Amino acid sequence: NAELNNGRLAMLAIVGMISQNGFLGTTGASMWIPGAAFDKELGATMPFKYFDPLGLASDGDAGAFRRRRAAEIKNGRVAMWACMGYIAPEYFRWPGYLSPSANLKFTDVPNGVAALSKVPAEGWAQIGIFIAFLELFALRQDKDRMPGDLTGAGRLGLPFFLVGAKSGPCDAVSSERSLNAELNNGRLAMLAIVGMISQNGFLGTTGPSMWIP
């Protein structure tokens, strides 16, 4: 059994190494621990420390790194909400109607990807407008603040914009632990939501049956 499992792992490993060597020209330790100008930035935590196997930041372009980091944080936050959105409706639904004109209750909307076809077009339009409002105004990224540090939201995401207030700049030194935790949780959530959507789409399962068959 050990020989079989080690052989399976080795087949995946050699395909990955040959592919990376062929496309990027890297061999040896640089295949797994590439040097970079950003290896001291937030997010370089154990067990992988600085992880950039494709060498996207190898050119040292600070502007491009900042843009990618802001996108990583934003996508991680969305993914964390998305994971909660997959789990919470299995145990709780809002009372009342999602669309009174269509006689559609919240409890009538299925969980997972099946909900995409049930929500009325007007509902998707409202969601799109709200997202645009957040992107363009309330949660817009300022150029003079670190990626993910938004004037419209304070510590732990408190929505200051709802009361017309602005949050102060984040202290990256004193908040290093929580900032690293947010990055890592966001990365995990991005993998998790891709897995849940894929399993839901291919197998049709949602809720506990996704993890406890």
Judged by phi (left if over 0) then psi (alpha if -120 to 50, else beta), residue 164 lies in: left
The pLDDT tens digits for 202-211 are: 988 888 877 7
pLDDT-derived band at 18 (thresholds 50, 70, 90) equals: confident
The pLDDT tens digits for 45-66 are: 888 788 787 778 878 889 999 9
- The pTM of the full predicted model, rounded to 2 decimals, is 0.79
Give pLDDT, residue 95: 94
List the single range of 16-20, 91-95, 117-121, 130-134 with lowest mean pLDDT: 16-20
- 86, 196 contact by CB (below 8 A): yes
Residue located via tokens 């817009």 = 140
Residue located via tokens 């990807």 = 113
Give pLDDT, residue 35: 54
| Structure tokens, 158 | 């408190």
Q: What's the DSSP call for residue 155? A: G
Taking the C-alpha atoms of residue 140 and residue 35, their distance in angstroms, rounded to an integer, is 32
* Structure-derived torsion over alpha carbons of residues 74, 158, 142, 182, reported in degrees to the nearest 10: -40
Give pLDDT, residue 34: 53
When comparing pLDDT for 23 and 108, which is higher? 108
Compute the average pLDDT of residues 113-132. Answer: 94
Burial of 183 from C-beta contacts in 10 A (0-12 / 13-18 / 19+): buried
- 181, 43 contact by CB (below 8 A): no
| Structure tokens, 154 | 């304070």
One-character DSSP codes across 174-205: TTHHHHHHHHHHHHHHHHHHHHHHHHHHHH--
List the single range of 31-40, 75-84, 87-96, 198-207 with lowest mean pLDDT: 31-40
Q: What is the CA radius of gyration of the chain?
A: 22
Compute the average pLDDT of residues 96-116. Answer: 93
Alpha helices (H) in the chain, listed in sequence order: 2-24, 62-87, 121-133, 176-203
Give pLDDT, residue 108: 95
When comparing pLDDT for 24 and 140, which is higher? 140
Q: 49 pairs with which residues across the strands? A: 45
Compute the average pLDDT of residues 135-154. Answer: 92
